[in-house]
Amino acid sequence: MTQPRTLYDKLWDSHAVHQDDDGATLIYIDLHLTHEVTTPQAYEGLRMSNRRMHRTDKTIAVPDHNVPSTPDRLEKIDDPESRLQLETLKQNSKDFGVEYIPMDDIRQGIVHIIGPEQGLTQPGKTIVCGDSHTATHGAFGALAFGIGTSDVEHTLATQTLSMQKSKNMLVRVDGKLPLGTTSKDLILAIIGRIGTAGGTGHVIEYQGEAFTDLSMEGRMTVCNMTIEGGARAGLVAPDEKTFEYLKGKPRSPKSTAWEAAVEFWKTLKTDDGAKFDKEVIINADEIIPHVTWGTSPEDVLPITGVVPNPDNFDDPNKKASISRSLEYMGLEADTALDGISVDKVFIGSCTNGRIEDLRAAAAVVEGRKVADTVQMLVVPGSGLVKHQAEEEGLNEIFLAAGADWREPSCSMCLGMNPDILQPGERCASTSNRNFEGRQGRGGRTHLLSPEMAAAAAVTGHLTDVRKVVSP
Amino acid sequence: MEKFSVLTGVTAPMPMVNVDTDMIMPKQFLKTIKRTGLGISVFYDMRYDETEAERPEFILNQDAYRNSKILIAGRNFGCGSSREHAPWGLLDFGFRCMIAPSFADIFYNNCFKNGILCITLSEEQVEALTAQADGSDFTVDLEKMEITAPDGSVTPFDLDPTRRHNMLNGLDDIALTLERLDKIKAFEAKQQAEQPWLYT
């Protein structure tokens, strides 16, 4: 009788090509997603050492980080460095024979949106990308994690990575989320609980009704931000919702292969009695809408809370980091979060740029106006998301409210394209990081759900969405 | 990759927690298609003001620390993005060694790929070493796995054997893996037989 194994154990074991005595293991990679920012030096490395790709059929390329979100983006990329980086991806993909989705293709979008959308993301796969939000794909029960450029090069050359196994961590959320609480609130609350290093050295498996109740899109939001809790990968075991989502997607298995795949995918779950090295158990009914107040994703509180006061903390490190955050954020201790005015609202990113996110934000905005003091940017995560939203008339709702309706891009999540905050500007953002300078030097980011961001847009300040629309 | 055996040099203290890779290398420097030349941009927002003038209070702008080779930092150093531009910048500045109570996983791995040794010590050990980082030389010996502080005190450290071996010998990971190409091909043949939908 074999030992009971976790889902992570199973994914690891089934991809181990070779293991050294000290545990260093060569892991086979089933899907390699590439974009323009973290690949140029990897291809340069291959060229310098006269190496070829081991194979090209498990890699796909799409431009996203530098792509402007404005309608003239195809003709006009002002920044020469951005343009060169985008051209370099196109050229390298061509030279090495990698499938490339161009900017004018309806399938173009943020790399973590298009993997699932195309059916490339599947349960049981190992998936890597030179981007830490690769964790997103764990929502399908795939082992998916971000890598640096040296490992991008290693994957291109060998279709494997040399790794040490991580530990197993369980985050179980029992019960049902209250009405008005979203997947974003759920993951923010988890990060608030475990801290940004809580998952370091671990792969997190999310279990419990709160996760199984979520749609695939909601699970992607949760897994996406796993890295903000320090873990490289997050997992949700695949179930009927997963199979339903993937059925008929362009790159999903077809006909008899589909039946065989689903049969295999059903085995991808943690065995009864499997051991986790670390367990965190939370009750879903305690979680209400959340928002960040500081410069780390762990600086997060329920919207009913107040900005922390450094005087209330004993740990000198914590005291210093709160003081530094408050100074950067331009906030006074003990201020109520509900009521802090914002200048910009950003809806989009690999965390919340999918169709359900846009529907949720539109439902709050519908029949209302964006406050005069606020600019609201709505940026679909892919061309297909944009198309679907327009079919449903969501663009009309946003435009009627006075919001900007943009083209697919990473946009204001990280300011590598023209969408950036000016120094001192405050933004309610559905993205994933509130680090200093992340959205533009001196920019102040508050992370929240699409519903909460929309509520901030129409009221002009951070507020509890449940006061704007009844859940 | 350059070999690493014994490193002697100035240690810069940066006792902040959760220093993220956006702080180490802000997004505007990620547009390069080269690995080199990023040293001048490392810690950009902390290092320079809005007019691009040096902020004199920042540690690496002080004469005693301009040639630092070792950085001693707070916990969860390097959290956030996977950008290898962060270690490239640190290396280009002249750093070959990071010491902290903990590192973020992706950053930690990226450092070793570039010949930067990351050493994890307890909070107390880091605090004691930080107190001695006054611009005097520290010595980090990877053979013996110990750090010698300016006062002569010795702090031992641990490192997994594969990383240590590869650092000491300056080995190229890809060349090592390609020695196992037969195993990779055998894996592919077996996987294709069992899960043919992965090979369409």
Q: What is the pLDDT of residues A26-48, one digit of tens each?
A: 999 999 999 999 999 999 999 99
Instruction: Report the Cα B181 to chain-centroid distance in Å.
Output: 29
Distance between CA B163 and CA B114 in Å, rounded? 12
Contacting residues for B77 by C-beta, under 8 A, at least 6 apart: B19, B98, B100, B102, B103, B104, B107
Q: For position A1, what pLDDT does the model report?
A: 57
Phi, psi dihedrals of residue A425, rounded to the nearest 5°:
-70, 145
The reply to whether residue A22 touches residue B74, judged by beta carbons under 8 angstroms, is no
- Cross-chain Cβ contact A441/B82 below 8 Å: no
Q: Which H or E run includes A204? A: strand A202-207
Are A81 and B32 within 8 A, CB to CB?
Answer: yes
Task: Tell me the CB-side half-sphere exposure of residue A118, using CA atoms within 13 A.
Answer: 21
ipTM, 2 dp:
0.95
Q: For chains A and B, what is the number of CB pairs under 8 angstroms?
A: 188
Report how far residue B83's alpha carbon sits from residue B130's, in angstroms, rounded to the nearest whole number. 27
CA distance B27 to chain A (A): 6
Place of tokens 């965190």: A280
Task: Report the DSSP beta bridge partners of residue A282.
Answer: A173
User: A400 to chain B, minimum CA–CA distance in Å?
Assistant: 33
Three-class DSSP category at A248: coil
Contact A100, A116 (CB under 8 A): no
Q: How far apart are CA A222 and CA A232, in angstroms?
A: 13
Shortest CA gap A414–chain B (Å):
7
Residues 6 or more apart whose Cβ sits within 8 Å of residue A407: A67, A68, A69, A70, A71, A73, A379, A380, A386
B88 and B38 in contact (C-beta within 8 Å)? yes
CA distance B113 to A150: 6
User: Given a cut of 90, is residue A384 above it in pLDDT?
Assistant: yes
Contacts of B49 (CB under 8 A, 6+ apart): B55
| Residue B35, H or E segment | none
Predicted pLDDT at B26? 95
Closest-approach residue (CA) in chain A for B196: A257
Distance CA A203, CA A230 (A): 9
pLDDT tens sequence across A413-448? 998 999 999 999 999 999 999 999 999 999 999 999
Per residue in A120-133, pLDDT tens?
Answer: 999 999 999 999 99
Give the contacts of A319 (CB within 8 A, at least 6 positions apart).
Answer: A310, A311, A313
Tell me how far apart the alpha carbons of residues B75 and B84 are, in angstroms, rounded to a whole number: 19
How sure is the predictor about A275, in pLDDT bands with cuts at 50, 70 and 90? very high
Q: What is the pLDDT of residue A135?
A: 98
Alpha carbons A207 and A239: distance in angstroms, whole number = 12
Q: What is the pLDDT of residue A471?
A: 80
List CB contacts (< 8 A) between A422 and chain B. none
Among A243, A253, A264, A258, residue whose Cα is nearest residue A120:
A253
pLDDT at site A72: 84
Nearest CA to B43 among B90, B10, B104?
B90
Instruction: Tell me the mean pLDDT in the region A125-152.
Output: 98
In the predicted model, what is the mean pLDDT of residues A247-266?
Answer: 97
Burial level of A316, CB count in 10 A (0-12/13-18/19+)?
exposed
Name the closest residue on chain B to residue A56, using Cα atoms.
B199
Q: Do A30 and B198 touch (CB under 8 A)?
A: yes
Instruction: Measure A37 CA to nearest chain B CA, in Å.
Output: 7
Using CA atoms, how far apart are residues A195 and A227, in angstroms rounded to an integer? Answer: 11
CA-based nearest residue in chain A for residue B177 = A158
Mean pLDDT score, A4-9 = 98
- Burial level of A312, CB count in 10 A (0-12/13-18/19+)? exposed
Q: Beta A300-302 vs A344-347: how paired, if at all? A: unpaired
Angle at which helix A216-224 crosses helix A355-365, to 10 degrees, equals 100
Which of B35, B55, B79 to mutate to test binding with chain A, by most A CBs within 10 Å of its CB?
B79
- Residue-wise pLDDT for B55-110, tens only, equals 999 999 999 999 999 999 999 999 999 999 999 999 999 999 999 999 999 999 99
Alpha helix (H) residue ranges in A195-289: 209-212, 216-224, 240-246, 255-265
Q: What backbone phi and psi angles, to 5 degrees, belong to A16?
A: -80, 115
What's the CA gap between A223 and A235, in Å, rounded?
A: 7
Q: What are the structure tokens assigned to B125, written together?
A: 């050990």
Q: Give residue A22's pLDDT band: very low, low, confident or very high (50, 70, 90).
A: confident
Q: How confident is the model at residue A2 (pLDDT cuts 50, 70, 90)?
A: confident
For residue A179, the Cα-to-chain-centroid distance in whole angstroms is: 23
Task: Give the residue on B whose Cα is nearest the Cα of A201.
Answer: B105
Residue ranges of chain B with per-residue pLDDT less than 70: none
| Token pair 């006062």 in the structure block, residue | B151
